Structure 1
């Protein structure tokens, strides 16, 4: 199980919901992303999008609802462990509790909790789920995201060339998601003209599955598949955090590697992306206003409990010119070491203008090409049986995190530097 497994609680009782939330937040050795639903219909929609590791479902007078729910979960989220929460005296009629439990187990429910229960009992349940997951791990791809506090730092260039480099090694098994929704450039930099974008994906959200998503992606000659950004800001407004969660949840079940280029605003969509990211690469450059914004971004990632060991800092377009900051100065300002240094290379600009990614032409002997080759090799190591890490604690299906309109780091950096 991951650093932050996702847990879905299904109950109409606010007291039970709050108790589950409190108990799950009391674990000392792990933390969870918790989402709540009031009924099974709402829970199915949440599970379809989030693919939780555990679903805690209150059982009331009849066992039929949880049996139906378990069968639906087997179809839409087979890796979810459905757990029945039983109250004393909850069942009426002539059927014994033992017979009801047998019927429910046959429907696909994997475990039970008797309410009221203790933290120790809940911890034991999580341990059992962990052990079962290790026996039959889900085959999930690695999701890596490129984030920054502002545009113009080369984030998209790095994301696109990383995706192309991976696709050359694993053709047909790498997906690039251009989630820089309002300013996406991936299609242009790959010289592609997609007929469908994330806007069309959003319109098909209710019936979206792995097959349909692969059909909506456009193929590049390198073997890469691309889900392109919307064509303009109006279309971008149709793509929300639920769409992005759905896309990434399906993508990591369809591809070995999913590379995500993001928009430099920290909002609900950014959180949804990070929620399913195996590793986040923070891209910056040696310019004071940019570094101030990068420091704020790192602070926010820490605030939302994104694991520091799954974040790496990329210093892009580094040049040794008079007045420029040295890497160790930048590391001191950010409060953490620089993991990757990509030197300035004018050929990168030329490649962007021609629509031929430099990853397809570089030799990798020195400079930018050598660092990119090393970087791509390192990214391949993120592949494994991975699960969501999580950065937030949703309640009642809504994220109690960043404001929907987001925080623009570029503006924040400029204000602080004045």
Structure 2
């Protein structure tokens, strides 16, 4: 009796059975089928191994490519410390050899950072502190502009993001930061000459300019006549077209000195201006007050005449009919082509002698909405009404009884006139310096 094999079910005849060709053929068919199945599965396995090998190789290639490309990725490294000598602590900068004491950034690597600790005041360097490498630090590298030159003061503004790229020996500043100009201003309150370099990204600067106040005149004992008050300085608002890196010259007028000599009037206040590409934007200073007998008896003690755009009056130049400062018309004076000069108001006149020995009050400086107010008797004139908190200084009081003449108030107030005080005469007081304020 025949039996089957345990695994594939081949038929095994008993030794007593007759030879049966059909049984043999059936066994051969089973052998053929199983061998074919094994062959097919072997091919499938080999193909899978090949596919997996190719996939792994492809992944490795992509990883290598990504690592190479990663050098060009722009990372955010954080904020800097130090105004000019910056340090940036970061764990995102790729290095050439992390095992050395001072790892060098990979050539071509770049990162963004936010400038802190103030706007730079000169050339800039940077040190990288690798927090992922046990706080190892790099060498100190220069930060250069696109022309491979050291940075100028103001190139890195506090609080603004910037991008740096390493070329193997230095970092190069890319573009101009965030592309957003940070609003800022510069104020010049003391008489003198200054220079401003226009910051990057700035194309227009608004200037608020005040001329200086005139000095008060001196009291005359010979004719018992007080000195006139100095006049207030003018005000000019200008919108100035500029280019980054351009140099602007700023001059703040000096307040006129009060007169201590009966034969001499108080000095006029200096004019203030901003010079851009050879064009001056000027606010005139107030005229000085006349002394008791300077200029002859008919003019003695006159108040100074208020400054106007582009003009400072030379004393004695006032009148007994002193007046407030007024609007200056650019169109009426042939300046219609100078559209950058927006508006100008004159300073108030100083007061003439009021009561024999009393000094006249100084004129007030102009403001952004009105001319300065004239001095009245011994009272100093007020500054003009203002619209945007831009206003001049009031004039100083003239000498009166036991009080000496008072200096003008900044910016641009006229000094009070001298008078007879406590059984003695006193000279006129000084006018106040002008002022220039630039906004962008």
TM bracket, shorter-chain basis: under 0.3
TM-score by length of 1: 0.23
Higher relative contact order (CA 8 A, sep 6+): 1
Question: Which has more strand, going by share of residues?
Answer: 2
- State the TM-score, normalized to the length of structure 2: 0.22
